[in-house]
Structure 1
Amino acid sequence: MNKVLISVVGPTAIGKTRMGIVLANHFNTEIISADSRQFYKEMSIGTAVPSDTELKSAKHHFIQHKRIHDTYTVGDFEKDALDLLDEIFKKKDIVVMVGGSGLYVDAVTSGLNKFPKVDEVVRKELNQEFDKNGIESLQHKLQKLDPTYYKKVDINNPHRLIRALEICIGTGKPYSGFLEKPKDQRNFKVLQVGLIADRSIIYDRINQRVDIMMQSGLLEEAKALLKFKDLNALQTVGYKELFEYLSGVWDLDFAISEVKKNTRRFAKRQLTWFKKKPDTLWIAHDYQNEDMITMVNKALLKLNDEE
């Protein structure tokens, strides 16, 4: 097995796009995006889609290839990404993947857990319960039906709670039980490279990025998408908060401060997720290109020696 997927991960605003391009150019290869919000054509500024210059500097896949009205699940992405990897690996030994969406990264690198199909009515009813009674109702229900998963999940993420409850209710079995089943094997090796910085630096970069997004027209982008605010694609930090301003609930300064706060919280969750993988090669965000390439090459040699 001499094919390797280099997966570049890390918190938002840390510089993953830049590192991915440097690696792709060095190894003369292509980039797969695993950022689930960069999939959508209508969302550019708020999702920090790579610039035209960046997109031209290396071949990218899965950037703005869907519409916000499309249903595109993590399972769909897993299948599409694996099919594309099979094609690219016919001509390249290394492919680079870049993204901060942990579930989407894991779907490609190690596979998704397989769950039985559940009647859509269950999810509909859970969404109605969430709208009517709030997140605490979902939290109590999951604690009762699957205490094991309740201890592990981000209990403030309604999408995760609803997904777990959907399986618990639809199958009569705990969601955590399905997580323990073996996943499909991959026909390539994975080197996960993580970008890291002191928390204060990450938070400063996030605050600066939000200011730049606002200067670049994020409010206008959100205004054009306001009528679609209930779509799943738009349940995204940066848009949700501005929709509150555009709907007259918050003033603009408060909405922007909430974007920054929620993005910082998201970055913290990203780091927690990616640090679960013990053999990640962590590299400081202010690396020199030559030093970074040297570190990656050493890690690749070690990976091959493990055969």
Structure 2
Amino acid sequence: MDKVLLSIVGPTAIGKTRLSILLAQYFKTEIISADSRQFFKEMQIGTAAPTAEELAAVPHHFIHHKSIIENYNVGAFEKDALSCLGDLFKKHDVVIMLGGSGLYVDAVTKGLDDFPDVDPKIRETLNKRLKTDGLEFLQKQLKEKDPKSYKNIAIDNPHRLIRALEICIGTGKPYSSFLQNKNKERPFKTLSIGLTADRQLIYDRINKRVDTMMDEGLLDEVKGLEKYKTENALNTVGYKELFLYLKGEWDLETAVSEIKKNSRRFAKRQLTWFKKNEATLWFNYDADPEQIIGRIEQELS
């Protein structure tokens, strides 16, 4: 049988972790994570990382393997993940990949586009402008220079925003013009399985998850990370809102409300990204696992 990567995708809080464990147990295999927020060992509660019990159920890779003070990007992950898969496919015909970070999923399954080198001083300048003028200033700049990227990338992610802008400024050409959309060859086949639900149900699940995170001690987790709040890894939903609460700019109710709102927006962008892959097999979030396994077996055969 050909080596197959089962890629489990879908919006946040939809049940990807549960399904991935069931599939890994069925195929007697292992899981690699392509969730860029769950790489960092200091961020447990706010990223909804798998629990100790879930991690013990089947072997996982790329969960809590980095620190927030380390510089780790999608290019490094692509290299590390492909190396890990090379080892795993020596033992297994099927490996599970779990992830809600579309760019990181695509890096493994399709490969990254090649971009020209630009002056590193451009990024330094943009990071300074981020601190002095804010995210919205840079968003407007990208909208002027590359409307296509402004619509398609996660513009509230400072790292992605600055990456696109530095290419625009350093080359004089739109970031989007370097996106070739040509898949690189991989020594395995990818079968993409998507979980979804009615939008309101997704939003309700997100709201409930945020409440659960708060009950589990998210605020204390964020307090313990406050001195690192300028690190890029922490400029993310669930952390940046509570940093503003700790700074005194918001009350706690407002901060929690903003976490829910920004998580819902994130889920909407996730669905938009993953829906672009027309080959993905979509199932309702509460579909019978036997039905999903049956369809996968059908595809594999």
Q: Considering only aligned residues, what root-mean-square deviation do their CA atoms show, in Å?
A: 1.7
Helix, strand or coil: the match of 1:49? coil
| Aligned 8 A contact 2:123 2:162 in 1 | yes
In the alignment, what sits opposite 1:292? 292
Deviation for aligned residue 1:176: 1.9
Deviation for aligned residue 1:118: 2.0
Deviation for aligned residue 1:249: 1.0
Superposition pairs of residues 3-152 of structure 1, within 5 angstroms: 3-152=3-152
Q: Could you say if the C-alpha distance between residues 148 and 284 of structure 1 is closer, same or farther in structure 2, counting changes exceeding 3 Å?
A: closer
Q: Could you say if the C-alpha distance between residues 213 and 144 of structure 1 is closer, same or farther in structure 2, counting changes exceeding 3 Å?
A: closer
- 1-side partners of 2:184 and 2:258: how far apart? 40
- 1-side partners of 2:238 and 2:38: how far apart? 13
**Amino-acid identity (%):** 62
| Aligned 8 A contact 1:281 1:299 in 2 | no
In the alignment, what sits opposite 1:277? 277
Residues 187-231 of structure 1: per-residue CA shift (max 9 Å, x gap): 111111000111111111111111111111111000000111110
- 1-side partners of 2:188 and 2:98: how far apart? 17
Which segment is superposed worse, 136-145 or 172-181? 136-145
In the alignment, what sits opposite 1:206? 206
In the alignment, what sits opposite 2:185? 185
- 2-side partners of 1:211 and 1:139: how far apart? 30
In the alignment, what sits opposite 2:230? 230
Q: Could you say if the C-alpha distance between residues 152 and 205 of structure 1 is closer, same or farther in structure 2, counting changes exceeding 3 Å?
A: closer
Helix, strand or coil: the match of 2:47? coil
TM-score by length of 2: 0.95
Q: Could you say if the C-alpha distance between residues 272 and 223 of structure 1 is closer, same or farther in structure 2, counting changes exceeding 3 Å?
A: same
Q: Could you say if the C-alpha distance between residues 183 and 117 of structure 1 is closer, same or farther in structure 2, counting changes exceeding 3 Å?
A: farther
- 2-side partners of 1:144 and 1:25: how far apart? 49
Amino acid at match of 1:121: K
Return 5+ residue gaps in structure 2 as ranges.
none
Superposition pairs of residues 211-222 of structure 1, within 5 angstroms: 211-222=211-222
Amino acid at match of 1:2: D
Deviation for aligned residue 1:236: 1.2
Helix, strand or coil: the match of 1:87? helix
Amino acid at match of 2:159: H
Deviation for aligned residue 1:246: 1.0
- 2-side partners of 1:151 and 1:213: how far apart? 30
- 2-side partners of 1:181 and 1:34: how far apart? 20
Amino acid at match of 1:260: K
Deviation for aligned residue 1:127: 2.1
Amino acid at match of 1:161: L
Q: Could you say if the C-alpha distance between residues 34 and 181 of structure 1 is closer, same or farther in structure 2, counting changes exceeding 3 Å?
A: closer
Deviation for aligned residue 1:110: 0.4
Q: Could you say if the C-alpha distance between residues 14 and 152 of structure 1 is closer, same or farther in structure 2, counting changes exceeding 3 Å?
A: closer
Q: Could you say if the C-alpha distance between residues 171 and 300 of structure 1 is closer, same or farther in structure 2, counting changes exceeding 3 Å?
A: same
Aligned length: 301
Amino acid at match of 2:257: S
Structure 1 position 252 matched with structure 2 position 274: no
Amino acid at match of 1:191: L
Amino acid at match of 2:258: E
Helix, strand or coil: the match of 2:225? helix
Return 5+ residue gaps in structure 1 as ranges.
302-307
- 2-side partners of 1:10 and 1:140: how far apart? 29
- 1-side partners of 2:34 and 2:153: how far apart? 21
- 2-side partners of 1:88 and 1:204: how far apart? 37
Amino acid at match of 1:24: A
Amino acid at match of 1:261: K
- 2-side partners of 1:164 and 1:279: how far apart? 27
| Aligned 8 A contact 2:159 2:232 in 1 | no
| Aligned 8 A contact 1:203 1:264 in 2 | yes
